Amino acid sequence: MEDHFLIAEIASVYNDDGYVKVKSFSDFPERFFLLEKVYINIFGDLRTFIVEDVQEIGKFFILKFKNFNSESSVDFLVGTSIFVNNTDSVSLDKDTFFIHDLIGCKVFFNTKFFGNVVDVLNLNSSDIYVLNDENGHERLIPAVSDFVETVNIKEKKISLKIDFDEFSDDEN
């Protein structure tokens, strides 16, 4: 599944005509209207589904797949994950990254290893990189230009601007 991006989960059957209600994980809701096909994880295998119709209702999307025309034909999809192929991913602005690309990045200040990114928290003020250091301690780093010098996704490396040694004795 490395060649695919998770974008949503099927939350429920929407109506008797085979529509499903989808909970989006994407920061780009407009992408759903451009979908021609998606990949759904069925028992560990990604299966291709052709998107026939898309509607937006509140904060959810309603999808209709080709050849699935009744409630009973889509009931088994509830709770499954929806992916898109890498080639269908959204283009990002400079200095903007997909969370899945940040996970696993090694974070350094100069040559000192600071930790691995294990998660990214999306807060109103900024994103926060969640790191685990060599001792298994969790560290939080704001993902802002005041702290982050460079992000190199190809090398899975993030370099910090300032010395975080002052936090090394923090009991948290």
- What percentage of the chain carries pLDDT values higher than 70? 88
CA distance 107 to 56: 39
Same-domain pairing of 59 and 108: no
Residue 170 lies in a domain: no
Residue 172 lies in a domain: no
Residue 157 lies in a domain: yes
165 has pLDDT over 60 = no
User: Can you give the CATH number for the domain in which 81 is found?
Assistant: 2.40.30.60
pTM, two decimal places: 0.63
CA distances from 76 to 9, 41, 66 (A): 13, 11, 15
Last residue of one domain, picked from the residues 64, 87, 110? 87
Band of the pLDDT at 53, cuts 50, 70, 90? very high
Same-domain pairing of 81 and 132: no
Give pLDDT, residue 130. 92
pLDDT tens digits for range 27-36: 777 888 988 9
